[in-house]
Amino acid sequence: MLAGRTGNLDLHTCTSVVGYCLLPVVIFSALSLFLPVDGVIRLSVAAVFVLWATRASAGLVVSFADGGDEHRGLIAYASFLIYTLFSLLVIF
Amino acid sequence: MYGNVGSQPGVQQSQTSLPPNPFGSAFNVAGSGLIRGGLGAYGGKILGSSSEYVQSNISRYFSDPQYYFQVNDQYVKNKLKVVLLPFLHRGHWTRITEPVGGRLSYKPPIYDINAPDLYIPLMAFGTYVILAGLSLGLHRKFSPEALNLLFIKGLLGWFMQAALLKVTLLSLGSGEAPLLDIIAYAGYTFTGICLAVLGRIILGYSYYFLMPWTCLCMGVFLVKTMKRVLFAEVRSYDSSRHHYLLLFIALVQFPLFTWLGNITINWLL
């Protein structure tokens, strides 16, 4: 999100996009109620959902921001960190 | 009847999502707090200074904190290489300057590999917290309180690193480096620490190789960078004193890295 500050992206748009893309993490939270406590399975499922959320978030931000294509990798990494943090709280 | 049953799981999901929010907010607050604090410091400096040269420099940075976020993929890739493998940086360490309206100013990071930025430090700090949480989780010790504690520990380490660089520059007669520059340089520390912690998660014993290596690389990087900052600011030159203090910066990296890299529930360890 920080890299997008050079464009026309404002705080409300960022917050909105991050909030929408939390939905995959929410689905993962519900799903984890039925998953076994085995570490490997949970980590794998978490990775899938985090990548899903990251991809969606990066796509949305790039479409909103001017010149976003140049910063796609940077934006994706920031999103990845946020959703991984939420997933940590679900996994453990 | 069916609609009623449907709304119940929705409520549960909503409740499940609420607890994580404080940590997300903590990240944003910390990030903006850093920038705001820096700007406050610049404001104080402006009021206290009457020098034309200093004022122009400070107003330059005061008016443009986004200077530090003008980055792209290529810059980040190259900068990470410079930070993690400073020996292989064959080019010069001097920042590129350009005359703007009769004054000398630096090119933004997107055009100059040697310019500091705040994107990499912030992302490295976030990665450090998440890797720490992951490491704790794999050892069955994870809890939100532990994550919060590690967050504060990381901030404290960042502050200590920035204070070290600032004090060193001041004692060498150069206090004019912008505060955000110092914060950015100090933040690169987390890049090496993340690498070491990641190595430990993947393969336990690689930590004992990666930690000294990243300490050494960060020490070399900081010495090269600080030397260039000094030469850009200091008119007089005292060779032995400069070298000893720069060496001191490199040596302090080892205990700092060890402290930050040791992820436990205990505060001091």
Q: Is the pLDDT of residue B31 over 50?
A: no
Q: What share of chain B is helix, strand, coil (3-state, %, to 5)?
A: 75, 5, 25
What are the structure tokens assigned to A79, written together?
């999103």
Comparing B61 with B83, the larger pLDDT belongs to: B83
Question: What residue ranges do the domains of chain A occupy?
Answer: 11-91
Mean pLDDT to the nearest integer, A63-88 = 73
Check residue B86 and give its pLDDT: 73
Domain boundaries, chain B: 116-261
Q: Kindly determine whether residue A92 and residue B142, on different chains, have CB atoms separated by under 8 Å.
A: yes
Sign of CA dihedral B223, B224, B230, B231: positive
**pLDDT tens-digit readout, B202-213:** 777 777 777 778
Give the chain B residue whose CA is nearest to the CA of A73: B73
* Statement: residue B124 has pLDDT above 80: yes
Residues B191-248 have pLDDT tens digits of 888 887 787 777 777 777 777 787 777 777 777 777 776 665 545 555 666 677 777 7
Provide the pLDDT confidence category of residue B40 given band limits of 50, 70 and 90: very low
Within 8 A by CB and 6+ apart from B162, the residues are: B182, B183, B185, B186
Closest by CA to A18, choosing from A75, A88, A92, is A75
Looking at residue B257, its pLDDT comes to 72
pLDDT band for position B7 (50/70/90)?
very low
pLDDT of B172 strictly over 60:
yes
A interface mutation test: which of B134, B140, B198 has the most A CBs within 10 A?
B134
Residue B39 has pLDDT above 80, yes or no: no
Percentage above 90 pLDDT, chain B: 0
A36-43: long-range pairs with CB below 8 Å, 24+: A39/B138, A42/A91, A43/A91
Taking an 8 Å cut-off on Cβ atoms, the answer to whether A88 and B73 are in contact is no
Q: pLDDT tens-digit profile of A27-67?
A: 887 777 776 666 677 778 888 888 888 888 877 777 766 55
Rounded to an integer, the average pLDDT of B97-118 is 67
- Give contacts of A39 with chain B, Cβ < 8 Å: 138
Average pLDDT, integer, range B100-129: 73
Q: Average pLDDT of B44-71?
A: 53
Instruction: For residues B210 and B201, give the distance between their C-alpha atoms in angstroms, rounded to a whole number.
Output: 12
Backbone dihedral angles phi then psi of residue B22, each to the nearest 5 degrees: -50, -40
Is the pLDDT at B4 greater than 50, yes or no?
no
pLDDT value at A89 more than 50: yes
Contact check, Cβ <8 Å, A82/B24: yes
Average pLDDT score over chain B: 66
Rounded to an integer, what distance in angstroms lies between the CA atom of residue B52 and that of residue B203? 55
Residue labelled with tokens 């792209």: B72
Q: Where in B43-101 does DSSP place strands (E)? A: 97-100
